[in-house]
Amino acid sequence: MAELYMSATLTQHALPQRLGDFPTLTEALDYAALGETGLNFYDGRCRLVAVISYAALRREALNMARRLHGLGLRRGDRVALIADTDYTFMELFYGCLYGGFVPVPLPIPSGLGAHDSYVKKLNGLLLSCEASAVFAPTVLLPVVQEAAASLAPLFVGAAKDFQAQAMAQVDLEPSRPDEIAYLQYTSGSTRFPRGVVVTQRAVMANLQGIIRDGLGVRPGDRCVSWLPFYHDMGLVGFVLGPMASQLSVDYLRTQDFAMRPRQWLNLISQNRGTISFAPPFGYDMCSRRVREGEASRFDLSSWRIAGVGAEPIRAEILERFADQFAPAGFNLKAFLPCYGLAESTLGVSFSRRDTGIQIDRINRWELEHHSRAVPFDGDESKASIFVNCGAVLPGHRLDIRDNTGHPLPDRQIGRVTLMGPSLMSGYFCDEDSTQAVIDQDGGWLDTGDLGYLSGGELFITGRRKDLLIVRGRNIWPQDIEYLAECQPDIRPGDVIAFLVPADIEPQVVVQVQCRLTDEAQRTQLQQSLTKLINSEFGLSARVELVPPHSLPRTSSGKPSRAEAQKRFLQQMQSLCGLSMAAG
Amino acid sequence: MISQEKILERLFVYLGRIAPASTPIHPDVDLIQELGLDSIKVMDLLMELEDEFDLSIPLNVLTDVRTPAQLAEAVVTLMEPANGTVR
């Protein structure tokens, strides 16, 4: 798009705003195309590099639908889209919907030297969704072809080269409300990826809830996002949501954000953005990378919804960000904590708007021994703090249940279960996994998360499967990890805590990524951490220092405690085997 | 036209500042395994290169990069079209 003059799409236009009240995504795009808003793409220096209005996007998507038909795809066939932050992704995504095919957004590789692990992971994903066609950015074609080699898709290629494909002269039949809109791959393990099946009806129900009830979208809103398109928050929140409410969006590539986090804030300042989301680490990265006195160079006064989700929310990270950017006009009340998961399309609950972070300080002893959230204003070290994630979206129900499935009263901690129109139909071609999370009689989804309700508002306390149960006490691994992360030389994400079976009682293992090379310093760190954990939690943990980047992560970058535990046990076993063989 | 040597030189200056003193820096050292660069340091390193040579490095072209020599080569390749080199 080498135009001499390019300008971003407008924020305001004459088209009356509709808040996601469409039967399907394609009907939503048909409507957005009547206005003047659209999508804007920026490079790492905040220069506008591509613009596409919803009108142009719709035209191109219809052409794509005909080209896809030209490949000989059948209705419902999956089309894998390796999703870089680029408008061709949207052309293909909506092209699939117009043509009656199922788009499957998949990740791009990240990091140095990731070739082999990416090929393996992508191969698993392509097999799982049984992709009939695979689209990738040109630079990634060799690696994607390698990953697709064991399949026999009708097409593997770059979107750019696909322009030359002949358009079939067919009457397009877009996917209907009861048909699959797209598959969303979640952070399952590499070996057994799980594709969440989202129907048109589910995505529209969720979008309407997010747009109308969660965010209260109104004319004059403008979105800014660096979230990847293959992630549910990036896709539903910042590709589909703005489209279904006819908002303009300014995009920064995830990598450019990671390299230059300030550009996110620049973009909001420059274009008067009003809605933008990030996991807590996104806010943390800005706090860490902005220099003294630099904050006042931004103008964040337009930012009315600073959404926070996708990982456990720690209030102090957000408070530090708000303090730091107060000179830029950032409003602490703009923070909007929320809870969601791909199995319910994206959004489950949003905190009240214009209130900021609301925390609940509870008694840790009661939490650990009786799974009760008892308000507490005593000694800081004996308290646990959780963030209010708001009430469940209208039309949905959220219950906290015990292990036998019985609903629990307010302030009792249990499994977060969910029912409503946004729920997935299941995992793609994986009845076992589906039955494991959705109960067949009532249709309730077990989210796998733990939490409690207070006055109808949700507080998430952790992931059930990660819980450390020691001597009848429930200990949240996040608490131990956080304690360790607060020590000098240790950063958020450097620590993982899990439980392994042992002779007398289970052993808590704490692995810490450590950059220290001096042996004496390492020993000292190990000892001081062991002592600290012992004094805080009264248990003797086995603290292990591991090399940087060695802790396993899920595809969304969260620490994978289950995988760390598995690796640890395997290692122990092989060590045992060795010593027995030697003996 | 900026040479691969020039880029390597620049890389070494940067790596010298952040790598552990005990680890020798050479063109074939493994940036992650041997120098222990974390993702933030990798990002800083790429940003230095982008600013120094005024180019954009898409992260996804770096999947086969493990060493300074490979990184310098990738950067040179990225710069070729901008310099009008016909391949």
Confidence band, pLDDT 50/70/90 cuts, at residue B47: confident
Of residues B33, B38, B63, nearest to A114 (C-beta): B63
CATH class of A25-260: alpha beta
Positive or negative torsion for Cα A560, A561, A563, A564: positive
Token readout for A230 is: 């293959």
What's chain A's Rg over C-alpha atoms? 24
State residue A340's pLDDT score. Answer: 93
Give the model confidence (pLDDT) of A240-278 as tens digits.
999 999 999 999 999 899 888 999 999 999 999 999 999
Task: Choose between B33 and A547: higher pLDDT.
Answer: A547
Per-residue pLDDT reduced to its tens digit, A423-470? 999 999 999 889 989 998 879 999 989 999 999 999 998 766 677 867
How far, in Å, CA of A15 to CA of A380, rounded?
Answer: 53
Q: Using alpha carbons, list the distances in angstroms from residue B4 to B8, B27, B41.
A: 6, 11, 21
Q: Does residue A2 surpass a pLDDT of 60?
A: no
Structural domain contains residue B50: yes
Looking up residue B22, the CATH number of its domain turns out to be: 1.10.1200.10
**Could you tell me the fold of the domain covering A468-582?**
GMP Synthetase; Chain A, domain 3 (3.30.300)
- Residue B84: inside a domain, yes or no? no
Which candidate, A568, A448, A489, places its Cα nearest to that of A194? Answer: A448
Per-residue pLDDT, A403: 81
Task: State residue B85's pLDDT score.
Answer: 42
Q: Look at residue A117 and tell me whether its pLDDT is greater than 80.
A: no
- Whether the per-residue pLDDT at A225 is higher than 50: the answer is yes
> How confident is the model at residue A190, as a pLDDT?
46
Give tens-digit pLDDT for A78-101.
999 999 999 999 999 999 999 999
**pLDDT above 70 for A504:** no
Residue count of chain A:
583
pLDDT over 70 percentage in chain A? 94
**Chain B interface, best mutation among A86, A259, A514, A516, by max B CB count within 10 A:** A259
| Residues in chain B within 8 Å Cβ distance of A114 | 63
> In this predicted structure, what is the pLDDT of residue A511?
95
The Cα-based distances of A379 to A230, A358, A361, A364, A506 in angstroms read 43, 19, 11, 10, 29
Backbone φ and ψ for A456, nearest 5 degrees, come out as: 80, 0
A44–B56 C-beta distance less than 8 A: yes
CB-facing half-sphere around the CA of B16: CA atoms within 13 A? 7
Q: Give Cα A415 distance to the centre of its chain.
A: 20
In-domain check, residue B85? no
Contact at 8 Å (CB) between A444 and A438?
yes
So where are chain A's domains? 25-260, 468-582
Which domain, by its residues, includes B44? 4-79
Indicate the number of domains in chain B. Answer: 1
Distance from CA of A123 to the nearest CA of B (A): 16
The pLDDT assigned to A474 comes to: 62
Specify the pLDDT at position A1.
47
Q: How many CA atoms are closer than 13 Å to the CA of A375, on its beta-carbon side?
A: 5
Query: What does the block give as tokens for A9?
Result: 């799409």
User: Quick check: is B37 in a domain?
Assistant: yes
| Residue in the structure block whose two tokens are 């209208």 | A394
Classify residue B25: in a domain, yes or no: yes
**Amino acid residing at A438:** I
Contact A549 B63 (CB under 8 A): no
Alpha carbon dihedral A256, A258, A259, A264, in 10-degree steps, equals 60
Q: Which residues contact A40 (CB under 8 A, 6 or more apart)?
A: A8, A9, A48, A50, A51, A248, A249, A250, A251, A271
* Sequence-separated (6 or more) residues with CB below 8 Å from residue A355: A333
pTM for this entry: 0.83
| Tokens describing residue A143 | 């690696």
Note the pLDDT of residue A576.
Answer: 67
Per the DSSP assignment, residues forming a β-bridge with A38 are A53
Mean pLDDT along residues A500-522: 85
Indicate whether A555 pLDDT > 70: no
Predicted pLDDT at A495 = 93
Check CB contact under 8 Å for B56 and A43: yes
Residues of chain A with Cβ-Cβ distance to B38 below 8 Å are 515, 548-549
Average pLDDT over residues A191-197: 82
Write down the pLDDT at residue B81: 60
CA–CA separation, A417 vs A408, rounded Å? 11
Mean of the pLDDT values across residues A335-360? 96
At A222 the three-state DSSP class reads: coil
Average pLDDT over residues A158-186: 93
